Structure 1
């Protein structure tokens, strides 16, 4: 027995077919990391160098070291995000240290939104937000291609209406 979606198709009893996030989200997050920590390094270097002395300006290397470490961590976090469409529910998995997997039954979905802020639009990204009756099970899939986000929204809405009509 197979589901109707080619992207989320799976055979009953098998492992779900996971879909990862596109690389645009990784580029966006790395850009934000470089901009914020780069600005912090410059500000720390200038302020410490001018106010305390040139030797203290070496503390500006701390944000740069944090940037180097964060570069790899951002990628690990990006790789941890994935989702799978199953026959009766949507799975969302994320997390490196604390792995979290959310199962959202189609019949429990009340609202499916596609959002895209200014930076997301610049990078050609959109997020899908799922709202259910229980606030604790609200879930988000960030950084999708807008066409995929709209396809997912339409599919989830259709499946949600079909499942809730059967209650």
Structure 2
């Protein structure tokens, strides 16, 4: 404006601010205020940025655990994983334990009961025999629970075995770490047609045992594990 007409002369702003000067204004029609960058939440200074309407930009990674949910459930710590199901051992495992307990209970109950009867009478001898019978029954119950807790699964790179009634345990045996696999069976096991497969590794803590397998199933598992272990060791 011409100052000769009585109007004050034009004076620029005293201090435009270093921040406003560092960021030029945005083109017309683009949301935002001035040239200030959006805040950490995607909003401009005035709260009207491109993401100011509660929208998450497309380049932001999604929340891996919505609503604060954990990565996995505690009851899945002993799952086979990968959609696999546990392969169970034979029911003859529990019967083998029961027959073993009976074979021990007969001489212990008979000889012990006779000694107690000679020294204390009929009542203490009957209590001794009852205790031996109860021990055999508890052995069979624990063997049945152990059979149901036992399971194994063959994955692409390792074999996993889980077992335990009071304390549950899961063992992962990589095929490339297996040194050898053996199959054992005692007199009673051979009579019942079952066997035990053992995987031996360099570390004794990672050795795994699968008892109560039928003889043909134990032989097939032994061959598969030996073949996979040889393939992985050659790959190393």
Normalised to the residue count of structure 1, the TM-score between the two structures is 0.85
Residues 43-66 of structure 1: CA deviation (Å, up to 9, x unaligned):
222111112222321322211222
Q: Which residue of 1 aligns with 2:180?
A: 111
Q: Which residue of 2 aligns with 1:82?
A: 151
Of 115-124 and 36-45, more deviation after overlay is shown by 36-45
Between the two proteins, the alignment pairs up a number of residues equal to: 155
Match of 2:231 among 158, 162, 165: 162
Q: CA RMSD in A?
A: 1.5
User: Where do 5+ consecutive residues of structure 2 fail to align?
Assistant: 1-80
Displacement of 1:120: 1.2
Q: How does 1:49-88 map to 2 (within 5 A)?
A: 49-60=117-128, 61-88=130-157
Q: Which residue of 2 aligns with 1:27?
A: 95
Q: Which residue of 2 aligns with 1:126?
A: 195
Task: Tell me if 1:39 matches 2:107.
Answer: yes
Which one has the bigger helix percentage? 1
Which one has the bigger strand percentage? 1
Q: Larger radius of gyration, structure 1 or 2?
A: 2
Q: Cα 1:44–1:59, aligned 2, differ >3 Å: closer, same or farther? A: farther
Conservation of the 8 A alpha-carbon contact between 1:17 and 1:85: no
Match of 1:153 among 222, 227, 232: 222
Q: Which residue of 1 aligns with 2:8?
A: none
Bigger relative CO (Cα 8 Å, ≥ 6 apart): 1
User: Where do 5+ consecutive residues of structure 1 fail to align?
Assistant: 1-12
Residues 87-117 of structure 1: CA deviation (Å, up to 9, x unaligned):
1100111000010111000111110111222
Match of 1:102 among 171, 196, 201: 171
Conservation of the 8 A alpha-carbon contact between 2:175 and 2:225: yes
Query: Distance between the aligned counterparts of 1:95 and 1:144, measured in 2?
Result: 17
Query: Distance between the aligned counterparts of 1:80 and 1:116, measured in 2?
Result: 21
Displacement of 1:29: 0.8
Query: Hey, which bits of structure 1, 4+ residues long, moved more than 3 A?
Result: none
Displacement of 1:69: 2.7
